[in-house]
Amino acid sequence: MSTLPAEKPPAAEARSQQAETPIETELRLEPPDRIAGGLASITHALAPAWKEAGAARASAALRALNQKEGFDCPGCAWPDPDGERTANEYCENGAKAVAEEATQKLVTPDFFRAWSVSRLSQQSDHWLGKQGRISQPMFLPAGRDHYQPISWPEAFALIARELNSLASPNEAVFYTSGRTSNEAAFLYQLFVRQFGTNNLPDCSNLCHESSGTAMKPVLGVGKGTVTLADFEHADAIFVIGQNPGTCHPRMLTHLQKAAKRGCAIVSVNPLAETGLVRFRHPQHPWEWMGSGTPIARLFLPVRVNGDQALFRGIMREMLEAEERWPGSVLDGEFIASQTSGFESFAAALRKESWERITALSGLSRAQLHAAAEIAIRSRATICCWAMGLTQHQNAVATIQEIVNFLLLRGNIGRPGAGACPVRGHSNVQGDRTVGINEKPSADLLQRLGREFGFSPPREHGYDTVAAIRAMHAGKARVLFALGGNFLSATPDTEFTARALQSCRLTAHVSTKLNRAHLVTGEQALILPCLGRTERDLQRSGAQLVSVENSMGIVHSSRGSLRPASEHLLSEPAIVAGLATATLGKRSQVPWAALVEDYDLIRERIQRVIPGFEDYNQRLRQPGGFYLPNGARERNFQTSDGRAHFSTLALTGLAPAADQFLLTTIRSHDQYNTTIYGLDDRYRGIHGGRRVVFLNPDDMRRCSWSQGELLDITSHHNGERRSALRFRAVPYEMPRGCAAAYFPEANVLVPISSTAEGSNTPTSKSLIVTLERSK
């Protein structure tokens, strides 16, 4: 174990530190854990919950978490079991999410009187979040350095004045976080479109936009095609660009069950992640002291950005095996009757150079052959992936390559097989389903206009990257964010900060302090809302909301805790208040009545959004209901009614000899931009976050020692962006690769570097150089 002293940022970096996370305290390095879960997961789950909320309040919340009559976890979108559920249907990070929301600490007007925005800007993201729940609306007037209290009517009036004074509705941007309920999201997109714009960027633009863009044209659906039951029947599960042990811990339960019955799990990732090595189930005491269940049978340490080449190599092996033993490898009947484009795809695959495949993937022929053998022996294969695939320049092509891989053996639309993009935020998929989309379909707009008696705008709006550019250029003057931490979640931190500062008004619906409250427009508002854990009482009584998980199940969520403050409003109430103040008599929507009884909102949703028939009745069924998914039944709603093979150019990054490929990652004590703590025990990091993981051979080659301070500089189209003073940490990963935590490394992600087709920032593949800090 080594202990490293804290470093202070130089004075010259003061402005940069207002936008970025400041350097944390003392950092301690230990060997990485090699077994996930177990008793440690229980203690790390319950300790923060009891500390933040108190034992009674925390216990009440955890008992209701992810239960059929309880509330949905405010964390990830991993689905709950359809049938019987355990008494503790949550993971370590889910408990931490509840602790953050159920905390008894409050950020009151007295806090803002004591703390200026300038002083708050010098605090870390972790410190900001630990101050507690924001208790009432706060306003930062132009030219002032302290937030001050404001009433809800005054806040709505202020936003309405700014919106209605714009030269065009397109000068406003309306962002959405994935924690927003279906009901709030539907009202929000209705208000925005009645206001006159489709500027509805959301967090999907930053995470799984590439998945939907890739899958929709080739499978007819932009969502996953599997259910939890499929994990019980799969012979092979490929987990690609995903770290379930940290990002979706409950997934490990299903991977453990699969591994125990002989399913071959393949881990495709630059870093060897603990959750895919061994796992002890926290709810099985007899496992706590053992060596755990081995999870991944094969680990493929792919080079950063090498996933497309990896699957090209696996499929080349499969095609060659089919040519040696015709009819024994590929599902010829499925390919002939249910797909199109196979011949051109196969012809291009045969021409692919093995030298190029191995160079771009960083893997040997033997490793690719081993993966192909698993795929060939498997009668049913699932491919899971997350942001490790979606945030590359070639992300869309890579995901379509995975679809090709599944189609070769008919692994779409049958038990135990399919595509499984795992969403990272609890309702990001549901928000998109009910209309949060900057590029709405003509059908959605027609249905919406018919239901509410208006003509929605047809012009496509800004996605998140385009919105940042528009604000930066002065083309967008107001940002309203329904949840999220806009500044820390987005790329190119300094560019985004200047974009926010160019606005007339920035307003954020939030539960806790974050950095987006501190780098603002001329004026700023913080609008505190109810959390997922809290009772939502409206005129007709207690309300429930609905969300959609990664597998297309819509289910209810009922908060049970007393709200943190009497001044909090629900998200639907905030949207309705904003719409009423802004639109006035221009809107005939009964906003107040809809908020009095959310059943009325759902009645409108079922008339506008296909698949929501009998919404209120089906929502009240224990566990909810599945939305239609044609690909799950091999009903491919594509241009020709078939699944499509894609013939794609193999692409990759080619850094110079002195450069590295850096990927951004999440720590174990983190959920998206929420920092629960300063440890990443699975990787051996304690007390800090400003680290860069490197291959030990690379460190020796460059004469860097463990804990040495390095500056990281990204290179893109002649532009340079730097992040200073990161501790070098040796880690098992491919040579020439590096990794660092976001949001600390987001400053390195160029606003101009995005995935082809989806415009998602390329946070997972940055060309960088590293040098000793001065």
CATH number, domain of 25, equals: 2.40.40.20
3-state class (DSSP) for residue 307: helix
Structure tokens at 573: 């109430």
Q: What is the pLDDT of residue 50?
A: 86
Q: Are residues 258 and 390 in the same domain?
A: yes
3-state class (DSSP) for residue 133: strand
Residue 313, domain member (yes or no): yes
In the block, residue with structure tokens 């199940």: 553
Q: What is the bridge-based pairing of β-strands 138-140 and 148-149?
A: antiparallel
Half-sphere exposure at residue 193, Cβ-oriented, CA atoms within 13 angstroms: 28
Where does a domain end: 421, 450, 478? 421
Alpha carbon distance 563, 560 (integer Å): 9
Q: List helix spans (H) across 107-204.
A: 109-114, 117-121, 125-129, 152-164, 182-195
Query: Domain of 376: which CATH number?
Result: 3.40.228.10
Q: Are residues 411 and 503 in the same domain?
A: no
> Which residues have C-beta within 8 Å of that of residue 734, sequence separation ≥ 6?
270, 301, 302, 303, 304, 362, 695
Q: What is the pLDDT of residue 47?
A: 87
Alpha carbon distance 344, 182 (integer Å): 42
Query: Domain of 167: which CATH number?
Result: 3.40.50.740
Among candidate residues 172, 200, 167, the one with its CA nearest the CA of residue 186: 200
Alpha carbon distance 587, 604 (integer Å): 16
Q: Are residues 244 and 327 in the same domain?
A: yes
How many Cβ atoms sit within 10 Å of the Cβ of residue 142? 11
Residue 332 burial (CB < 10 Å; 0-12/13-18/19+)? middle
Q: What is the pLDDT of residue 425?
A: 81
What's the N-to-C CA distance of the chain in angstroms?
26
Phi, psi of 731 (to 5 degrees): -155, 155
Alpha carbon distance 731, 738 (integer Å): 9
3-state class (DSSP) for residue 49: helix
Alpha carbon distance 160, 575 (integer Å): 12
CA distances (Å), 575 to each of 204, 428, 527, 589, 664, in order? 20, 18, 11, 12, 34
Q: What is the pLDDT of residue 23?
A: 63
Distance of CA 448 to the CA centre of its chain: 28
Structure tokens at 50: 């009891």
Among candidate residues 599, 649, 592, 643, the one with its CA nearest the CA of residue 620: 599
Among candidate residues 282, 328, 272, 261, the one with its CA nearest the CA of residue 302: 272
Q: Are residues 568 and 465 in the same domain?
A: yes
Residue 146, domain member (yes or no): yes
Where does a domain end: 571, 590, 618? 618
Q: Residue 712: which domain range?
A: 2-30+656-772
Point out the residues of the chain with pLDDT beneath 50: 1-17
Q: Are residues 407 and 449 in the same domain?
A: no
Residue 593, domain member (yes or no): yes
How many Cβ atoms sit within 10 Å of the Cβ of residue 588? 11
Q: What is the pLDDT of residue 18?
A: 60
Total number of domains constituting the chain: 3
Alpha carbon distance 501, 222 (integer Å): 35
Q: Are residues 339 and 476 in the same domain?
A: no
Q: Are residues 530 and 662 in the same domain?
A: no
Residue 187, domain member (yes or no): yes
Residue 431, domain member (yes or no): no
Residue pLDDT, tens place only, 295-336: 999 999 999 999 999 999 999 999 999 999 999 999 999 999
Q: Where are the beta strands (DSSP E) in 597-708?
A: 625-626, 643-644, 660-665, 670-671, 674-675, 685-686, 691-694
Sheet holding 2-4, edge to edge: 2-4, 27-29, 685-686
Alpha carbon distance 322, 315 (integer Å): 10
**Residues 512, 131: contact at Cβ < 8 Å?**
yes
Three-state secondary structure readout of 54-93: CHHHHHHHHHHECCCCCECCCCCCCCCCCCCCCCCCCCHH
Structure tokens at 748: 């390195």
Q: Are residues 496 and 396 in the same domain?
A: no
Q: What is the pLDDT of residue 6?
A: 38
Distance of CA 571 to the CA centre of its chain: 20
3-state class (DSSP) for residue 301: coil
Residue 494, domain member (yes or no): yes
Where does a domain end: 566, 594, 618? 618
Q: Are residues 665 and 586 in the same domain?
A: no
Q: Are residues 138 and 184 in the same domain?
A: yes
Helix (H) or strand (E) segment spanning residue 615:
helix 615-619
**Residues 699, 705: contact at Cβ < 8 Å?**
yes
**Residues 354, 316: contact at Cβ < 8 Å?**
yes
Helix (H) or strand (E) segment spanning residue 738:
strand 737-741
Residue 488, domain member (yes or no): yes
Q: Are residues 147 and 283 in the same domain?
A: no
Q: What is the pLDDT of residue 568?
A: 98
Sign of CA dihedral 235, 406, 213, 751: positive
Among candidate residues 540, 549, 507, the one with its CA nearest the CA of residue 526: 507
How many Cβ atoms sit within 10 Å of the Cβ of residue 84? 6
Phi, psi of 752 (to 5 degrees): -90, 0
Residue pLDDT, tens place only, 656-700: 999 999 999 999 999 989 999 999 999 999 999 999 999 999 999
Distance of CA 368 to the CA centre of its chain: 29
Q: Are residues 415 and 560 in the same domain?
A: no
